[in-house]
Structure 1
Amino acid sequence: MANGKKKVLIVNNNLATGGVQRSLVNLINQVKGQYDLTLFVFDYSGDYVKLIPSQVKVIEASPLLKLLGMSQAQTKKLGFRFYATRAAFALYTKIFSNHLPISMLVSTEKKLSGFDVAISFLHNADEKSLYGGCNEFVLNRVNASQKITFNHCDFSNYGGNTPRNRAVYKQFDKIAAVSEGCRQSFIKAVPELEERTCCVNNCHNYAEYINKANVKPVEYPKGGLNIVTVARLSPEKGILRGLDVIKRLVKENYRIRWNIVGDGSQKSEVEKEILINHLSEHVILYGNQDNPYQYIKNADLFFLPSFHEAAPMVFDEAKCLGVPIITTNTTSAKEMVIEGLEGIVCGNNEEGIYRAIKRVLDEPLVIEKCRDYLRTQNHTNQTAIEQFRKLLSEEGL
């Protein structure tokens, strides 16, 4: 230990905008004074680089390992050789799997030593994606007394629940799931690791959410229900089935407006559905925004119609801004949204979504009760920090 503080290495792919990266930055800022922290990042780039405190030592990977933290387009700045190398590995991954590419890229990095604890903060994706490698890096390129991995996904269902991935997890001393729902999903897939698996909630920067929400908050039209979604426009988020529900409610003459902040692979499809169904006055697309909180603050409801989720950070963001939630029943929904007090957890299907929103339209007091409750809550990271402290201790879970 240096200066009496435990030497901790945390490994992640990059610091681009994303839930895992945001959770990492928030955690580092919460515990920076309690440990001698070193951050190893495959590609030290992204919007959150500026949020890493100066006392945290940062190590960036060599150019070959950087490829695991970059998109194909980003590698152009490294030159043709690296662009072609990543393209070849990506093609191999699609045809076979990411096992060999990850193993080869990780092996190019020199070994790190001298740490009490080494943490892999990012789980691997499905085996047809050239993404991940943090687990393999911590296991094979770091010498540490204790090795820990974080799990930010619905492991049983997310696509990476494979024999090889399960074997990788068995090599870690402890596994930290970011919610009890995520923990249960992992244990269901790898029951023999139950004793090594604990829950460490995501950390949040609540003061930042509130401050940003108060910077020119969006004013929505009066006289109808204004719901907001902040999410990628990708299939798992259920945006298209959300549009079907809005279309149905509009046909029934309900006054409703769905404000969507985000971008993604389904953007053109979503835009097309809005036009075809004459929903332009009822569904507004804002695209990606640096400050999504100014869109959440004055909404009547936060709405997430996802098919599957792990532990969405945006739930706690909305709650600290006093905005009730309607969410489908995904892995951690009932754990993170108290029914009737913080919002509504509905059936994970179109009919369930329809009934939940219609209930709010017919009975506005349902949401007023939630809003009153949320205003009385004190949002802190105390539980998450205590869980993290216990995770890094030598004692059992």
Structure 2
Amino acid sequence: MSQKKKILIRIGSLRHGGAEKVLATFLKNLPEDKYEIDLLLNLYSGKYLDEIPKWITIIFLNKGEMITTNRIQDIPKKAARVVYQKSLKKFPNLLYKRKLKGKKYDIEFAAIHGMRDEILNSPLKSSKKIVWIHNDLSEVKGYSETEIKKFFSFDKIMVISEKIEKLFIDLAENENQKQKIVKIYNPLDTEEILTKSEKTVINYEFDQNVPTFISVGTIFPQKGFDRLLNVHKKLLDEGLHHKILIIGNGLDFENIKKLKSELKVDETATMLGFTDNPYPYFKNADFYILSSRYEGFPTVLFEAITLKKKIIATEVSGVNEMLNSGELGLIIENSEEGIYSGMKKALLQPQDFEEYSEKLKNYIIPFNLKNSVEKITSVLDEL
């Protein structure tokens, strides 16, 4: 029996984001007999902790929930976490000697782009290094071309969409750098989505006579929920009755909630917060709306396609691929005006969306779980 490959994977936490879900799904589908995996979290927190297989060792720098507020009583704890994490980043030898007990790894894996420096500054010079890029970094604050080029220090750069692949190919300075880029669609479990969608909706009443637009995601400025609410208000003022349902939590939750009240749309827009199973809500809503300012490959659209929803999506990275250049859903300009025109069309000309529904009926998703897992494991095995 050949020796198991020793792999260290790093991510911030296992909270409710697309990258976290994708990592958990991938790990659940890995063969136990081939790898020995340590998963190092900055914060032992999040709904996907329970999904990590028992044979994978979870190590963490801090424990407890993420502190998203600046309440006086939270500041010392928040500051202590930051200082501890920064000091281990600055002195990686301490981390590897103490926390990781001097273990040697064959592969070190940054599961998100934010872990770039932690992995590249590893004291283990002989390990192979991989990064998994889930965002279009050209749209992410703080990522100049110079910053993005630093990712070429990895042995492999896994990207999740054509747009991100093109960004890296255009920045590559030679053939060797180009060879490092590998495009792999996110592993997602369609069976799980379909099964979970059959469950009962709780805490929300769908009204058959009022069209409902659902949007699901981490509440960050990136997701454009502020734009969605502004458009919602504008359409209501024009006499176009509809409802908005936002599912998710995140750093911007209180800001978006406040905006909802300021716009006086509390009666028609609902923020449900985080739910373990958003799929019954997807299923019962009339339209899925993606209002993002930027994405990598919006996992949530895969879920909407699986559940055959009528989709409206801003033109961000991954959308053209997922919606077959507009065959499977309405792709709108990435602006508040674009969101307004798309939602207005849905309300005034719902019949135009029947064409998408017809196409989705027999559509077989090309990015499936088995293919993605096999492609990622082949990257691990070849290193």
TM-score tier, shorter chain, comes to: 0.7 to 0.9
Q: Is the 8 A contact 1:166 1:190 kept in 2?
A: no
* Inter-partner Cα distance in structure 1 for 2:355 and 2:316: 23
Query: Quick one: which of 89, 101, 124 aligns to 1:102?
Result: 89
> Among residues 104, 114, 117, which one is paired with 2:107 in the alignment?
117
Distance 1:69 1:122 in 2: 21
Match of 2:183 in 1: 199
TM-superposed deviation, 1:367: 2.3
Query: Cα 1:39–1:349, aligned 2, differ >3 Å: closer, same or farther?
Result: same
Amino acid at match of 1:381: L
Give secondary structure in 2 for the equivalent of 1:201.
Answer: coil
Q: 1:291 aligns with which of 277, 296, 308?
A: 277
Using the TM superposition, give the Cα deviation of residue 296 of structure 1 relative to its aligned residue in structure 2, in angstroms.
0.9
Contact (CA 8 Å) 1:11, 1:138: kept in 2 or not?
A: no
Give, as a single letter, the amino acid of the residue that structure 2 aligns with 1:392.
Answer: L
Residues 67 and 55 (structure 1 numbering): CA distance in 2 closer, same or farther, change over 3 Å? closer
1:32 aligns with 2:14: no
Paired residue for 1:177?
Answer: 159
Give, in angstroms, the shift of residue 254 of structure 1.
1.9
Residues 5 and 34 in structure 2, CA contact (< 8 A), matched pair in contact too:
yes
Q: How large is the Cα RMSD of the aligned pairs? A: 3.3
How many Å apart are 1:353 and its aligned residue?
1.3
Q: Which residue of 1 aligns with 2:72?
A: none
Aligned partner of 2:25: which letter? N
- Determine helix, strand or coil for the equivalent of 2:153: coil
In 2, are the aligned partners of 1:122 and 1:135 still within 8 Å (CA)? Answer: no
**Residue matched to 1:392:** 380
Instruction: Determine the structure 2 residue equivalent to 1:129.
Output: none
Deviation at 1:146, TM superposition (A): 3.0
CA distance 1:26–1:234, shift in 2 (3 Å): same
Deviations 1:271-309 (A, max 9, x none): 444344442332122122222122111111111111112
Distance change (3 Å), C-alpha of 1:87 and 1:49: closer
Bigger mean CA deviation after superposition, 263-272 or 233-242? 263-272
| Preserved contact between residue 226 and residue 299 of structure 1 (Cα < 8 Å) | yes
Structure 1 233/341 Cα, relative in aligned 2: closer, same or farther at 3 Å? same
1:150 aligned onto 2:132:
yes
Tell me the TM-score normalized by structure 2. Answer: 0.83
Matched residue, 1:366 = 352
Opposite residue 158 of structure 1, the aligned amino acid is V
Higher RCO (CA-CA < 8 Å; seq separation 6+): 2
CA distance in 2, matches of 1:234, 1:261: 12
Evaluate the alpha carbon distance shift between residue 87 and residue 382 of structure 1 in structure 2; reply closer, same or farther with a 3 A threshold.
closer
Distance 1:352 1:291, change over 3 A: same
Residue equivalent to 1:86: 81
Q: Is the 8 A contact 1:40 1:59 kept in 2?
A: yes
Paired AA for residue 108 in structure 1: L
CA contact (8 A) 2:244 2:270 kept: yes
Q: 1:106 to 1:163 in 2, by over 3 A?
A: farther
Secondary structure in 2 aligned to 1:228? strand
Whole-Å separation in 2 of the counterparts to 1:146 and 1:174: 8
Q: Where does structure 1 lack aligned partners over 5 or more consecutive residues?
A: 75-79, 91-97, 125-131
> Residue 244 of structure 1 corresponds to which residue in structure 2?
230
Q: SS of the counterpart of 2:271?
A: strand
**What per-residue deviation string (whole Å, max 9, x for no partner) do you get for residues 150-197 of structure 1?**
111211221242588446423211111122222223344555533311
CA distance in 2, matches of 1:140, 1:269: 37
Distance 1:190 1:216 in 2: 49
1:208 aligns with 2:199: no
State the 1:314 CA deviation.
1.0
Deviation, structure 1 residue 199? 0.8
CA gap of 1:18–1:365, structure 2 versus 1, over 3 A, is: same
Q: CA deviation at 1:10?
A: 2.9
Q: In structure 2, what residue type is equivalent to 1:109?
A: Y
Contact 2:8 / 2:40 at 8 angstroms: preserved in 1? no
Pair 1:305-2:291 in alignment: yes
Q: Could you tell me which runs of 5 or more consecutive residues in structure 2 were left unpaired when the two chains were aligned.
A: 70-74
Query: Does the residue aligned with 2:12 lie in a helix, a strand or coil?
Result: strand
Given that residues 62 and 81 in structure 2 are in contact (C-alpha distance below 8 angstroms), is that contact kept between their aligned partners in structure 1?
yes
2: CA distance, partners of 1:59 / 1:155: 28
Question: 1:114·1:143 contact (CA, 8 Å) conserved in 2?
Answer: no
Q: What is the alpha-carbon distance in structure 2 between the residues aligned to residue 230 and residue 310 of structure 1?
A: 16
Q: Residue by residue, what CA displacement relative to the aligned partner does 1:198-243 show, whole Å, maximum 9, x if unpaired?
A: 1122111222222222110366211232110112333222222212
Change (3 A) 1:83 1:237: closer
- How many residues were matched structurally? 369
How far apart are the structure 1 equivalents of 2:253 and 2:238? 26
Equivalent residue number for residue 382 of structure 1:
370
**Is the Cα–Cα contact under 8 Å of residues 106 and 126 in structure 2 kept in the other structure?**
yes
Correspondences of 1:305-344 after superposition (within 5 Å): 305-344=291-330
1:47 paired residue number: 47
Matched, 1:255 2:241: yes
Structure-1 separation of matches of 2:165 and 2:53 = 30
CA distance, structure 2, for counterparts of residue 324 and residue 180 of structure 1: 24
Residues 338-347 or 140-149, more deviating: 140-149
Q: Residue 59 of structure 1: CA displacement?
A: 4.6
Contact 2:134 2:297 in 1 (8 A): yes
- CA–CA distance in 2 between the matches of 1:59 and 1:275? 41
**SS state at 1:108 partner:** helix
Matched AA of 2:137:
F
